[in-house]
Amino acid sequence: MNLRRAVVLAGWWVIPVLAWAQQPSDMKPVTDRLAASIYTGPSMATLGELTDNVGGRLTGSPAYVRSTEWAAAKFRSYGIENVRLEPFKIEAGWQRGTATGSMLAPLPRPLNVASLGWGPPTPPGGVHGTVAIVADVAPEVLRSREAELRGKIVFLDASKIYAEGYGKAMPKIQAAWLAFQKAGVLAVIMSDRERNNVLNAHGVGWGAKLLPLPGVEVGMEDSKMIQRDLERGPVTIQLTIDNKTSGETTVNNVVAEIRGSERPDEWILIGAHLDSWDFGTGAQDNGTGAISVLEIGRALMALGKAPRRSIRLALWGGEEEGLLGSYAYTQTHKDELDKCVAVLNTDNGAGHPKGWKVEGRDDLKKAMQPWSDGLLKDLNGGDLSSDTTYDTDHGPFMLYGIPALDLWVDMTHYGEIHHKSSDTLDKVDSLDFKGGEVIVAVTAYAIAQSEAPIAPHIDHAAVGEIIKKAKLEDMLVNVGVWKP
């Protein structure tokens, strides 16, 4: 009896292990169903609801709040029961108002301007003053120019300052704004980089922190004209900005969870940021990513059975201000990150899909290769890139050593709409968009079903080597998210 019982028990343990030992070909019937569900699914219509009915979703704005409520309702409509809004704090709230600028001398003419994000309004009636160019923001240089800059409008020559690299220049520019305030500068202007006076919405520095002085970006052609006129003599400018600001503000991430059928305490996270800048409607930055997360949730629920591991679906706030929502999530959920098997992120627009970025991890690339060859290659997503970035929401998880994948797509034309008023639904290619969704869905399902985690967590030292190699350490230290 004891021997027979031992054999039965041994068999009971072996069966699940054998069931978990699936090859890519074993999963193909289910992943084909996932792909078909997404290709024939409503994601373009859902994207239209978000972009045309809600519009641009600046972090903390009423439009952003509407988008979180809308997204939570969508998750629930798919039958997902565990849906919640998870709050985090940002230092200040900000809403864009009108901004006008004009040159008063040597020749009266309008200027194409927009407020820098999280810049305060000007006093009633605006400000006007002569322009002083600043191309060196070293503290000793600014101290020596205090008397010269008082009562002026500073033209910050960011192209020269950023020549040393974003990571080194950013803290210097942030410190420079405080020095300008101390010197009695009226406002700061920065040149945009796009031809034809096209403006890109952006802020200065990291975090949703109010700037100490009003600031605007000026169209490239207008800024070059200002610089030419300064070579001949004084230039006087008038600026009027009517933004609305507030103090500390609560912002919500939207998080839904499909509980795993066999290992529910282990989880894969699929994420994208829901917030956007406010010039356009945030269709590709990052409406397509956010809708992908929603659509993958719908398609997984349509399978009728949850994968073995849990899948968390996250829509982040505050990405545009410095990955604030995803970073806050890692802090709130720090004690359970050891159970996070992988993070899949999508935030590079809806260009033709290529595959995945493995964020500098050779072990992850090697582990992904069979899945890329066996499942993703036929979906035009079989390529793997070792590039390492901290430019979107996989970043905070990467710093904890969690295997992080960032969807890799063709970004040849992404700059034509990124942060611009042209980032609208009509620029989205539906087939490329759905192709990217399928790659994320199939990859997530494969990782959730696999016998073993896709790759191990790596320690702090190993992460440090990756970010040093990618020349990210200075920037990450400066923004306060990394300690060597």
CATH number of the domain bearing residue 215 = 3.50.30.30
Is residue 396 within 8 A of residue 481, CB to CB? The reply is yes
Q: Look at residue 470 and tell me if it is in a domain.
A: yes
Work out the number of other CB atoms within 10 angstroms of the CB of residue 361: 23
Confidence of residue 230 (pLDDT cuts 50, 70, 90): very high
Please work out, in degrees rounded to the nearest 5, the angle formed at the alpha carbon of residue 133 by the alpha carbons of 132 and 136: 130
Q: How does pLDDT run across 329-368, given as a tens digit for each residue?
A: 999 999 999 999 999 999 999 999 999 999 999 999 999 9
Taking the mean position of all CA atoms in its chain, how far away is CA 30?
30
Q: How far apart are CA 433 and CA 50, in angstroms?
A: 15
Interval 415-428 mean pLDDT: 97
| Domain endpoint, select from 244, 272, 305 | 244
The more confidently predicted of residues 251 and 174 is: 251
Which position has the higher pLDDT, 23 or 212?
212
Residues 40 and 121 in one domain: no
How many structural domains compose the chain? 2
pLDDT at 2: 39
| Half-sphere CA count of 242, side-chain side, radius 13 A | 6
Q: What is the pLDDT of residue 181?
A: 96
DSSP 179: H
Residues 348 and 265 reside in one and the same domain? yes
User: Quick check: is 312 in a domain?
Assistant: yes
pLDDT digits (tens, 9 = 90+) for 150-196: 999 999 998 888 887 777 788 888 889 999 999 999 999 999 989 99
Average pLDDT across the chain, whole number? 93
- State whether 100 and 172 are in the same domain: yes
Domain finish residue from 244, 265, 295: 244
Q: Does pTM top 0.75 for this prediction?
A: yes
Please tell me whether residues 180 and 301 are part of one structural domain: no
Helix (H, G, I), strand (E, B) or coil at 151: coil
Residues 196 and 234 in one domain: yes
DSSP H stretches of helix in 319-361: 324-332
Residues 420 and 320 in one domain: yes
Where would I find the beta strands (DSSP E) of 346-385?
Answer: 353-357, 383-385
User: Can you tell me the distance from the alpha carbon of 65 to that of 460, in angstroms, rounded to the nearest whole number?
Assistant: 36
> Are residues 170 and 304 both part of a single domain?
no
In a domain, 5, yes or no: no
Q: Is residue 18 part of a domain?
A: no
Residues 391 and 406 in one domain: yes
Q: E strands along 61-142, which residues?
A: 82-90, 93-95, 99-105, 109-111, 113-115, 127-134
Q: Which domain holds residue 308?
A: 23-91+248-478
* The pLDDT value given to residue 26: 86
- How far apart CA 320 and CA 323 sit, in angstroms, is 7
Residues 85 and 163 reside in one and the same domain = no
> pLDDT tens-digit profile of 38-56?
999 999 999 999 999 999 9
Q: CB atoms < 10 A from the CB of 10, how many?
A: 9
pLDDT at 416 over 70: yes
One domain for residues 382 and 455: yes
Residue 3 pLDDT > 80, yes or no? Answer: no
User: pLDDT grade, residue 17 (50/70/90)?
Assistant: very low
Select from 198, 200, 229, 9 the least CA-distant residue to 109.
Answer: 229
Lowest mean pLDDT among 10-14, 24-28, 282-286: 10-14
Are residues 434 and 413 both part of a single domain?
Answer: yes
Q: What is the CATH number of the domain that holds 283?
A: 3.40.630.10
Residue 206 counted as domain residue: yes
Rounded to whole angstroms, the Cα distance separating 402 from 454 reads: 10
Q: pLDDT of 83-116, one tens digit each? A: 999 999 999 999 999 999 999 999 999 999 999 9
Domain endpoint, select from 244, 266, 285? 244
In a domain, 2, yes or no: no
Is 463 inside any structural domain?
A: yes
Residue 32 located in a structural domain: yes
- Helical segments of 184-317, H only: 220-232, 288-302
For residues 374 and 465, membership in a common domain is answered with yes
